[in-house]
Chains A and B, each alone.
Chain A
Amino acid sequence: MNHLVIAPVVLPATLAPLLILAIRYHLDLQRVLSVAGSAAMVAISILLLGQASGGEVFVYELGNWPAPFGIVLVLDRLSALMVALTSVLALGVALYAIGSKWDERGRHFHPLFQFQLMGVCGAFLTGDAFNLFVFFEVLLIASYGLMIHGGGGARLRAGFQYVVYNLLGSTLFLFALGTIYAVTGTLNMADLAVRIAELPEGDAALIKVGGVLLLMVFAVKAALLPLHFWLPDSYANAPAPVAALFAIMTKVGAYSILRMHTLVFAPNAPEVAGLVNGLLPPAALMTLLIGAAGALGSVQIMRMVAFAAIGSMGTLLVAVSITTPQATTAALYYMIHSTFATAAMFLVADLLIERRRDVGGALVPGAAMRHNGLLAALFFAAAIALAGMPPLSGFIGKLMVLEATGAHPISGLIWAVILIGSFLMILGFARAGSTIFWRRPEEATEKPEADDAVASAEHESVLALASVFGVLAVIVVITVLAGPVGEYLQATAAQLYAPDAYIDAVLGER
């Protein structure tokens, strides 16, 4: 057995209790260990990526119990990719949280952060549907703590709504799993795939109910319209580094849809046909439009970014909903891009809020701030990435999505919505950018600039700026290396649409 497969779960799971039990009062030590842990995760995930890129499916049997009876972790190209995505994002966010001193504003930031990583990586690696639920809960309970990090009335209130919404999602998840178990008698994903394929005619309705319930749960996670209501409030009120980390949380939903509907509910199985390609595209298109319109209409910078995140999830889910290898390749590329672009935008927004003491996050003209030019450049880069303008990867991603939807029956509508959505988003960002960077209040209040400068000089941090540059650099890297990345993603999509290798690896020779 390849023990490296479980390392992305075990490493944060041992680090987090160590941080909270042994060194809870030593913030510096916590920071060092947290960054070291995140860096080790990046190294591990790159190793895993290298192993999985050969096309072999690695199965890790927990407690050495064979597959349908015990829980398995499965490493294939997709899960290796998602773990790598998570760990690289986490390293950038951890550095930003330290650089911007966000981790000082409340307690236990780093342990919660590590638990969150454990949950996310576990959800990507597991090959068991109930275990997926458990890892969802792990990542959610850590995210509840992170969401209300730093406190404050608005944040706690938004946090409460976030918790309630996600608990409802969890309840729905259990109902879905119960229904599926009642029909098939198993919850191992590979075993489910086999049993659903040879299900008797009479059980088709029941498994369809289970499938739709499951899809709804993942739609809540992926902020698909009309289940997106939790996102704007919670992301806008969450601490910025946490909101940036949450960029991966919506992708957990997208990943789960992709995994379930290529492996368990094979796209051509008669019982579940049309579940994804029928239900999802209209909802995804509406998500895109609402996200773009919300970004245009927001009066606060964090809300604007939150709505832009919804919009980019819309584009991603359009690609996910079309079950062809080409569309899945596009979806995966856009998923990588959208994760980093959303995270970068949240971090830039936080840098701005930090420097605009007089107006905070409101999108109104404020007094002159330090680093106006530098921040304008960062905002510009993040905005063109998130809106999908050339030359950054968002453009390539959208182009791939458009190309993959060309043969779809409603391709005209899809193209129109994606392009109009991009236009609205560009408009929203342009309006926000020009308000923040170019306009000043009418009566230029000659505030004692020196005081402000001194007061905020101690918050000055090169590390915070550097980590934002780092996240943006990842976007540049996936733009420049779009060829090799695209090849890997193509192989990933091919592997997803040939699930027999996965099933054989998990269940052994049948």
Chain B
Amino acid sequence: MEFLVASSIGVLTAAGVYLILRMRTFPIIVGISLLSYAVNVFLFATGRLALNLPPVLSKDAAGYTDPLPQALVLTAIVISFGMTAVMVMIALSAYLTTNTDSADTNDLKAASGESAQAKDETA
């Protein structure tokens, strides 16, 4: 059990980090999602691993699992869900404006030419 949880966190993190180091926005987004899954599993494990135990106090329970990490994970899931949506929107509009999916700011001029629709364009 411990090995399973630990290795799943490790594999997710490794895959996430690898994808984030890509140069295109789509793999980066997938990588960030994988990382957030890894951190969610990790947060679960911080309350110690327990099987078939109630999270709420009751008189006839043999033991308890810690409910707080589960609340933390819920918060983290909601936040990462919202963040992913924002990130996809920004990546999409960057792609539609500049016609390239690259995450590098340096190759922008070559790719987009004059995208100076905003007069304050500083690039």
Contacts and interface: CB of A to CB of B under 8 A. Distances in A.
A161 B103 CA distance: 7
Nearest to A148: B90
B118 A155 contact: yes
Interface string B84-98: 001100110110011
B108 A181 contact: no
Contact of A174 (B76, B87, B104, B115): B76
21 contacts: A130-B75, A141-B83, A144-B86, A154-B108, A154-B122, A154-B123, A156-B90, A157-B98, A159-B94, A160-B91, A163-B86, A170-B80, A175-B39, A178-B46, A179-B46, A181-B47, A181-B72, A182-B45, A182-B47, A353-B122, A361-B122
Contacts of B75: 130, 134
Given A153-B98, A171-B39, A137 B79 contact: yes
B121 interface: yes
A175 B48 CA distance: 15
Contacts of B48: 182
B39 A302 contact: no
| A contact residues, range | 35 or more
Interface in A122-145: 130, 134, 137, 141, 144-145
A181 B105 CA distance: 38
Contacts of A157: 94, 98, 103-105, 108
Interface residues of B, number: 44
A176 to B, nearest CB: 10
Nearest to B86: A144
Given A152-B117, A181-B69, A164 B87 contact: yes
A150 interface: yes
Q: Which of A144, A148, A163, A233 has the most CB of B within 10 A?
A: A163
Nearest to B83: A167
B105 A171 contact: no
Given A154-B105, A170-B80, A182-B46, 18 more contacts: A141-B83, A144-B86, A152-B120, A153-B97, A153-B98, A156-B97, A157-B98, A157-B104, A157-B105, A160-B91, A163-B86, A164-B32, A171-B38, A174-B76, A178-B72, A181-B69, A233-B105, A236-B122
Interface string B54-88: 00000000000000110010011001101100110
Give the 10 A-B CB pairs with smallest separation, nearest first.
Answer: A156-B94, A154-B123, A152-B118, A182-B46, A153-B98, A153-B115, A178-B46, A361-B122, A153-B97, A174-B39
A105 B25 contact: no
Interface of A: 105, 130, 134, 137, 141, 144-145, 148, 150-161, 163-164, 167-168, 170-171, 174-175, 177-179, 181-182, 233, 236-237, 239, 300, 302, 353-354, 360-361
Contacts of A181: 46-47, 68-69, 72
Interface string B21-46: 00001001000100110110011011
Contacts of B47: 181-182
A237 B93 contact: no
Contacts of A360: 120-122
B112 interface: yes
A46 B86 CA distance: 35
Given A144-B90, A168-B35, A171-B35, A152 B79 contact: no
Contact of A178 (B25, B36, B39, B82): B39
Contacts of B108: 153-154, 157
A150 B90 CA distance: 13
A160 B25 contact: yes
B118 A150 contact: yes
B94 A160 contact: yes
A187 B98 CA distance: 44
Given A168-B35, A171-B39, A153 B112 contact: yes
Contact of A141 (B69, B72, B82): B82
Contacts of B83: 137, 141, 163, 167, 170
A7 B116 CA distance: 42
A302 B122 contact: yes
A461 to B, nearest CB: 15
Nearest to B84: A167
A182 B46 CA distance: 5
A257 B16 CA distance: 27
Contacts of B123: 153-154, 237
A167 B32 contact: yes
Contacts of A179: 46
Contact of A164 (B69, B97, B103): B103
A154 B93 CA distance: 11
Q: Which of A158, A167, A236 has the most CB of B within 10 A?
A: A167
